[in-house]
Every structure is written in C-alpha cells, then in structure tokens.
Amino acid sequence: MRDAYRVLTAYRTEWPPVEHNLADNTNAFGSAPSAIAALAELATPGGLASYPSVTVTGLRDALGDWLGVEPASLLPGCGSNDLLDSAMRALADPGATVAYAAPTFVMASYFAQSNSLRPLAVPLRPDRQVDAGALLATRAPVIYLASPNNPSGTATSRELVRTVLDEAPGIVIIDEAYAEFADHSWAVEATHRPNVMVTRTFSKAWGLAGLRLGYAVGSPELIGEVEKARGPFKVNAVAERVATAAVRNDRAWLADVVARTRAGRERFAGRLREIGLDPLASAANFDRLPVDDAQRVAAHAMRSGIAIRGFKGLPGIGDLVRVTIGPDEVMDLLVDALESLPS
C-alpha cells in the first residue's frame, strides 16, 4: 500500500434519513427545473448506450456563454472534488507542499495527501481572513484557498486574494463552490493568469449535488494539464445533458434561489439574535453559530427532524454548528428547536 495513505481516513459523512437536511450546504430549495425535465429525454431505449462526449463541448459552450469565458478555459469533472484532486496531481510533483488557509474544506488537505503532496495548514487571521503574508511565506508551489470559505463562511477580501495571486511562487487554486452566493468571482480573471485555477460546482446553487458535476476555470494551458490528470469520461451523459439544460434555461431560477438564500441568511441570523444567540456573518448559503458543544446542539436539532453540521474545536473559532439556509418555514422550525435546547 502507498505510504501516504496510512494516515488517511476515507471520507464517510452520511446523514440518516431526516426530514430536513441543512447539513451539507446543498440546495434546500430544490433543483434547477430544466435539469429535471432534461432527465426524462434520456429515458429512452438506447438513450444511455453510447459513451458521453469526451470533450463535454455542449456543457463547456453553455458555461462559457454564462460566465463570459472561452470554452477552452473550462474543464468539467465529477464534482469540483475531482478537479481539486486532479489539480493536485497535475500541478506539482510528489513531495511538494500545498499551503492552505485553515480551517477550510477538509478535502483540500486530503487530496494533497492522497496525491503524495505535503499539506501545510496556515491559520486564518483572528478576523477569519486569509493570512496572505503567512501563506506566501511558505513559498509553497501550490496554494489553496476557498472563497467563500467553508466552514468559516467568510468571503476572502479581494485585496488579500490579489496579493496572493500577484506574489505566489506557483499555482493558486481558488475554490468557489459558494461563489454564486457571494459578491465576487475570480473565474474570468483566472483565464488571464497563467497560475490560477478556480473550481466551481453544480452541487450548491444549482441544486444538482446528486449529478456529481463541477468545473475548473483557468488558462487553456493550465486547464490542459489538469485534463491529463482528470482522465476521460468523468462527466457522464446524464450530467452533461441535464446541466447544459440548466445553464441554458434556468439562470432566472438560479438568481431567484440566490436572492432567497441571501435574504434567508439575514432573516435566520436575525431570528437567532432575537433568542439571544450570536451567529457569524456569512457570504455562502449557510450560517454559522458558535456554541459550547456542537455535538449536543446538532443532536438536539436532529431530534426535531433537522440535520445540521457540528464542528468541534475549530482553530481560532471553537465549536460551531453550520446550518444550510432553506425555506423560511424550515429555518423557523430550527429556531424553535434551538430555543428549546436544554441548558
């Protein structure tokens, strides 16, 4: 067995069947409607007998129109996880360091390790912003940062990201899984820089986590290298057809989901304050609430049929629960549950 794997534990988070899943930042408002309609068209005899497109051209064209970038700057894969994994293989040699702003998405360090790179955590500043100076001081050939970050929810300040992009000695990966909910994306700029790759996903704002579809954005040269590591046919025919329909037809639906999520985020935070709790500001589709005992609070919510995610002892933050924003009625149920938390 590969030495680097001895310290790894396979990712296994799974929720028991629950009435309301507010635990994994998927879309609690549903899925893009054209995606669901497009599924039916594939349900014909022979509809799935052929391989999918190896270049995923239909989807890359649709994404290019939407984002305002050339299709050659886009690489779809099996979730943004796949692109992060592939980038760690393609963009550094075994043994190289991957510096990342921590705490962040757990799979960043996992994929570094599973590709025999050395993950190096650089703590966020006390204001939960990226410590650009400390990240750059590592001289790591790969720097990963997520904006908005998960689980801190913070959008990284543009000045700090720009400093990292301008001064990084190697590649910078910006994970934008939650970019639709924030005020800024680096996707277009990534296509003009030789050393920047942005990852995005259909799992969150588009409501299509079950499809397993994400994409990377960057210069055609960089994207071409990551494609070699990703390999062919990672985007299946269903995912391509369904997501292309969504990107072509459901942009107004997406805008509505984003507006409802942003409004719901503020409303939920306001309701928490009304019952004496103190949530942290968020730029993503989830709110965060520091608590004394994250496990106890998550277990209590579960008894009311609501899954939320508890994090224990996050560096610089402590225990917190992370709550995906859904329809107001569901958020109100959760507020009721939190209000009745035995002390």
Q: Would you tell me which residues interact with ligand PMP (CB under 6 A)?
A: 25, 79-81, 105, 146, 150, 175, 177, 201, 203, 209, 214
Q: How far is the CB of 263 from ligand PMP (least distance, A)?
A: 22
**Residue 52 vs 214, nearer CB to ligand PMP:** 214
| Residue 100 or 253 having the CB closest to ligand PMP | 100
Contact 28, 326 (CB under 8 A): yes
The HSE-up count of residue 142 (CA atoms within 13 Å, CB side) is 29
> Is 236 exposed, middle or buried, given 0-12, 13-18 or 19+ CB atoms closer than 10 A?
middle
Taking the least distance from each CB to ligand PMP, the nearer of 52 and 103 is: 103
Task: Answer whether 245's CB lies under 8 Å from 93's CB.
Answer: no
Quickly list DSSP for 230-270: H-S--S-HHHHHHHHHHHHH-HHHHHHHHHHHHHHHHHHHH
Nearest residue to ligand PMP by CB is 79
Give me the amino acid identity at 166.
D
Q: Given the complex with ligand PMP, which of 52 and 76 has the nearer CB atom?
A: 76
Find the shortest distance in angstroms from Cβ 339 to ligand PMP.
28
Tokens of 268: 């939920």
CA–CA distance, 199 with 63 (Å, rounded to integer): 13
Among residues 277 and 280, whose Cβ is nearest to ligand PMP?
Answer: 280
Smallest gap from residue 156 Cβ to ligand PMP (A): 12
Nearer to ligand PMP, 62 or 337 (CB): 62
Q: How far is the CB of 102 from ligand PMP (least distance, A)?
A: 13
Residue 217: which H helix or E strand, with range?
Answer: strand 214-217
Supply the minimum distance, in Å, between the C-beta of residue 215 and ligand PMP. Answer: 9
Min dist CB 3 to ligand PMP, Å, is: 26
User: Which residues are CB-neighbours of 283 under 8 A, at least 6 positions away?
Assistant: 148, 153, 154, 155, 178, 181, 182, 183
